[in-house]
């Protein structure tokens, strides 16, 4: 019996499990490890923050999906890896052996302790849910409070932009009598780097409609957030602690930031039986840490894991050079950007909602726990 260990509840692993549910691999024991059974789809997180979706609507249930695939799901987080002994150690001390390991456990952020107010880190998403829901409870409990409230997002990319607009919309809707101010602080020279110029201009208009003050080229991001009641930390993605620690990752090949180095087949450069996809991986040519890449890596990872386990042949992943970016603006509108083209409006939000719901429907199960599609 060969052992396949899937660490992380990312978009690529969801596709691996769906494939196994449709076409099992005889003689392969599959284990899935993730901190929570319900894994949110990153594209719908801003809609959840703004109150458009319930959390249950934006997640993939990995416990149910694993069961449909004939796998077992374990609640836990990877703390250390001994790739030469084919052994993974979880945070609670449990050890798991494997013949084939796949990593799709995303990334994290090291956020500072704010001098004042409260901080919400946009990564990892599992921790974000608990802190955001607790803050909303306190916000509702203080419904008579009329003091001004300031929210500052640190990070000028899509995560900082979308989360700030979503949070402002939710807080203002919950307490119309309070003045809720917004600020976006970034070290970059421009908002939303990498998007079409017209999309950036649309983003600037969305911030203006929401009354957000934009501070570019702000090196002291922590100091700039001082005095805020709530800080949204959305700076660049970081590798998990075990990946950055040589003693905990063993001989696994990583880049300078701790991300797992992979080849064109998403296979570790140091260990042919280890694969990595999504934010935790480092491609030969740096790729943005965006969910769209993990989604596109899913079919390649699925096929190559099957090939290693004796089913079919391996293929290479070719990163898309252009992709569609859809950003929610928290007011029933969205911005679309692809290459040099851009669009904005309520119809873009409806389009985004249709695409996102369609992606989640791929992982829906019927009454017998089998894939619907």
Q: How do residues 121-131 score in pLDDT, each as one tens digit?
A: 888 777 788 89
What is the pLDDT of the chain when averaged over all its residues? 91
pLDDT-above-70 percentage for the chain: 94
From residue 43, alpha-carbon distances to 40, 163, 217, 295, 317 in Å are: 9, 11, 27, 11, 22
- Per CATH, the number for 118-235 is 3.40.50.720
Question: Where, residue-wise, is CATH 3.40.50.720 in the chain?
Answer: 118-235
Express each pLDDT in 160-195 by its tens digit: 999 999 999 999 999 999 999 999 999 889 999 989
84, 107, 177, 212, 337 from 153: Cα distances, Å = 42, 19, 22, 10, 22
The pair of structure tokens assigned to 129 is 């849910």
Backbone angles phi, psi at 90, to 5 degrees: -90, 165
Q: Which letter, b or e, does each residue of 120-136 get, where b requires 16 or more Cβ atoms within 10 Å of its Cβ?
A: bbbbbbbbbbeebeebb
Domain with CATH 3.50.50.60 in the chain: 2-108+238-319
pLDDT at 139: 92
Q: Which residues pair with 34 in a beta bridge?
A: 75
Selected residue with higher pLDDT from 126 and 283: 283
Q: H helices of the chain, where?
A: 11-22, 45-49, 62-68, 125-141, 158-174, 197-209, 221-224, 241-244, 246-249, 291-308, 346-361
According to CATH, the topology of domain 2-108+238-319 is FAD/NAD(P)-binding domain (3.50.50)
User: Which pTM does this prediction carry?
Assistant: 0.92
Strands 72-75 and 28-34: parallel
Residue 226, pLDDT > 80, answer no
User: Hey, is 145 helix, strand or coil?
Assistant: coil
Q: Give the span between the Cα atoms of 195 and 179, in whole angstroms.
A: 31
């Amino acid at each position: 019996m060969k052992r396949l260990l899937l660490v992380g509840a990312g978009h690529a692993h969801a596709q691996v499990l769906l494939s196994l549910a449709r076409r099992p691999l005889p003689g392969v024991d599959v284990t899935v490890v993730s901190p929570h059974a319900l894994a949110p789809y990153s594209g719908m997180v801003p809609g959840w923050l703004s109150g458009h979706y319930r959390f249950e609507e934006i997640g993939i249930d990995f416990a149910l999906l694993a069961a449909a695939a004939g796998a077992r799901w374990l609640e836990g987080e990877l703390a250390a890896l001994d790739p030469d002994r084919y052994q993974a150690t979880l945070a609670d001390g449990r050890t798991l052996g494997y013949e084939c390991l796949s990593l799709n456990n995303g990334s994290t952020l090291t956020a500072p302790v704010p001098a004042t107010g409260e901080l919400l880190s946009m990564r990892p998403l599992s921790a974000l849910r608990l802190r955001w829901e607790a803050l909303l409870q306190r916000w509702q409990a203080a419904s008579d409070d009329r003091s001004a409230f300031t929210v500052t997002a640190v990070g000028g990319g899509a995560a900082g932009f979308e989360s700030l607009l979503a949070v402002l919309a939710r807080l203002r809707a919950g307490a119309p009598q309070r003045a809720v101010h917004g600020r976006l602080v970034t070290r970059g020279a421009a908002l939303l780097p990498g998007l079409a110029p017209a999309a950036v201009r649309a983003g600037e208009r969305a911030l203006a409609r929401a009354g957000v003050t934009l501070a570019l080229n702000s090196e002291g991001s922590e100091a700039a957030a001082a005095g805020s009641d709530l800080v949204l930390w959305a700076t660049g993605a970081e590798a998990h602690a075990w990946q950055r620690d040589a003693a905990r990752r063993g001989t696994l090949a990583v880049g300078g930031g701790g991300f797992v180095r992979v080849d064109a087949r998403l296979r570790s450069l140091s260990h042919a039986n280890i694969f990595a996809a999504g934010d935790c991986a480092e491609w030969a040519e740096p790729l943005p840490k965006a969910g769209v890449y993990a989604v596109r890596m899913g079919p390649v990872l699925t096929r190559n894991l099957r090939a290693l386990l004796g089913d079919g042949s391996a293929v290479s992943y070719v990163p898309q050079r252009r992709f569609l970016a859809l950003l929610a603006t928290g007011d029933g509108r969205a911005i679309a950007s692809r290459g040099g083209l851009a669009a904005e409006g309520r119809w873009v939000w409806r389009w985004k909602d249709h695409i996102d719901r369609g992606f989640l429907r791929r992982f829906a199960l019927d009454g017998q726990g089998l894939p619907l599609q």
